[in-house]
A and B are shown apart, each in its own frame.
Chain A
């Protein structure tokens, strides 16, 4: 091994293998649920999974599947097929790809296991409402909608009462669907594990405050999978505990995520899944490390509302006030906090045609960041898993110009 190979090897995050193992086991369990007599629920990424775990229902995430489709560059083809079914090419590419996999088939791992029920929480977007209605018609299974009113400026009393009432409706729905009583004791344990997992995930992300950072947001996109899919389980807690240890060790050993970290950047919006590697190499070549992002922190940003001893009550608020369900001005506050916390030199915004709630408002956020912190920013446009929408040369030119600006400043 040459020296650089050695250095390269030491920079690899060792937990990756473990993560792949866990996810493989998880998908095998989900795909064999029918044989093992377990129920499968499809749930939105921002949805409250904990009651499902408490009821021993296997949660399956079409959005996680969407990311997988994107990473394996199957998105363009599936999205094209969705258009042939009449779904406009302007719709969320996760939704388009998933719908096609259900209706026509195709996609990685031979498709998702059929749902016994659908759980849709609209705290991330209105897209999921329409998407889950489509799946409810297709599979003809019960659909539960957790309606979390948008918090433009506040979480109102009216909304508090409404969401709390729906949490009880949710547990009743599960009792009906599973034909067993809701296990409140088990729920308490799951609630505690969920909070514990979220705390650990936040601590993992926080290690990026170090200079040099032991991880990039591209790593975070990958390691995010468990906090999304297995939140509330011991598996997730154990995994993030060991990942945190690894990150701390890297910091102690001075191992950086990229060879020469000179510039630190913040990422906004979902990843461009089919371009993660290209992006990370592109920025690394400029000695720029994307240390943090607004996306992966969305699965622990509500900890302040969560009470592990009173999980079901507090979860109503926690799930309603997530990053995508708040006003642009509150998003600006959070972005500015991240700019300071991770001490970044620039802001990379993915203007994601797939995701209107995340992307509309970005121009205002961009201006606020420029005004308040005076750091350069760049906007890259795509549909997150429809690779046909991505212009490499245009993105490259923009990134290069943006990095020039940063270099001149610093």
Chain B
């Protein structure tokens, strides 16, 4: 879509976008998880970029990761080894799943991008000692970053950065809400480009640009009801913009999601009163969790049911990367929660590549037809 060309370009040629940014004097740090304390990175004057894995074939990574590793981990490592990610000045690995845990070791032993940090966050988030530990780890990251990148991060800078992220996240959420209220106002591919672009593009630019997008959407005439079925996606990442288009062609429309490259990225604002690091920790604890973390035994299931209700979702599509343990373990129980509420769902397991469009259309059409 022309209206969102800037987002589309940053997403389709991230390397080019980031290299331009780098040429303007910015340092670049990569990351792979929605629990990365981007606020601290930005406060250091560094540009954080989320990595989604290579677009190309995987060859070099196969010498380090077995074939039963998810395509995200293999793709990210491929990018590092092939030179595709040469623009990075460093990499940050928050602790997530067993795969990322080992990817971090392999990265540390086989690449040399300068800065490197494991942010070993707690796995359970429901106790006071875990909250304290979360805070301690974030403080340690802050000082490691200061030392490793030769910068100082003042509380003032951190507060400013938090405020920026609150605005960016607030905007993304508003865009989601506008779409949920009237799914015809922009396509799924547009939303995908905007959210993904927001993890790639210059944050100051986004602060100007996202409010414009919102204004533009608000000015749009309500779309006439297209009779499309309201769908929500759940899973880890969606790196496949085509999915949205195929769902739309099949008679559905994505109105919300529970993806780490979607709502899990922007849900929850950071408190701007009090200690900034404690506030970042608190947001992680209050936010909708990812399945690699523990809150209560049913918190994800409850959240997903609530998301469905709030957005009048008619059907849920589980979008799971093959070999992703945390999501695979949660699937049967979350499906069970949805079944109990009479909410139909379908599972799409994604390997390196999507199935052919025809095959996907048939599966989506069958599903959507039954809603």
Contact = CB atoms under 8 A, between A and B. Distances in A.
A378 interface: no
A165 interface: yes
Interface string B110-135: 10000000101011100101101100
Interface string A135-165: 0110000010101011011001011011001
A361 interface: yes
Interface string A197-227: 0000000000000000000000000000000
Nearest to A88: B328
Contacts of A361: 102, 105-106
A296 interface: no
A126 B98 contact: yes
Interface string B65-105: 11011000000000000000000000000010111011111
Interface string B332-359: 1101000000000000010000000000
B129 A360 contact: no
Contacts of A264: none
Nearest to B332: A86
How many interface residues does chain B have, given as a range?
Answer: 35 or more
A105 interface: no
Contact of B294 (A129, A328, A359): A129
B136 A161 contact: yes
A328 B102 contact: yes
Interface stretch (A2-10, A176-184, A349-357): A349-357
A92 B333 CA distance: 17
Contact of B127 (A88, A169, A363): A169
B226 interface: no
Contact of A158 (B63, B137, B323): B137
B123 A122 contact: yes
Given A91-B325, A351-B66, A364-B110, A166 B120 contact: no
B4 interface: no
A353 B328 CA distance: 14
A162 B281 CA distance: 15
B124 A147 contact: yes
Given A149-B122, A328-B109, A86 B329 contact: no
B124 A145 contact: yes
B130 A162 contact: yes
Contact of B99 (A87, A360, A381): A360
Interface of A: 85-88, 90-92, 95, 122, 125-127, 129-131, 133-134, 136-137, 143, 145, 147, 149-150, 152-153, 156, 158-159, 161-162, 165-166, 169, 327-329, 351, 353, 356-357, 359-364, 381
Given A127-B329, A159-B120, 12 more contacts: A130-B330, A149-B120, A152-B104, A158-B137, A159-B133, A356-B68, A356-B98, A359-B68, A360-B69, A360-B98, A360-B103, A362-B66
**A-B complex: 9 closest residue pairs judged by Cβ atoms:** A130-B329, A86-B332, A360-B102, A162-B133, A328-B105, A158-B136, A88-B328, A165-B129, A356-B98
28 contacts: A87-B329, A90-B68, A90-B322, A90-B325, A91-B329, A122-B123, A127-B329, A129-B294, A130-B291, A136-B297, A137-B297, A147-B122, A150-B118, A152-B108, A152-B120, A153-B108, A159-B120, A166-B129, A327-B108, A328-B105, A329-B105, A356-B98, A356-B325, A357-B98, A357-B101, A360-B65, A360-B66, A362-B66
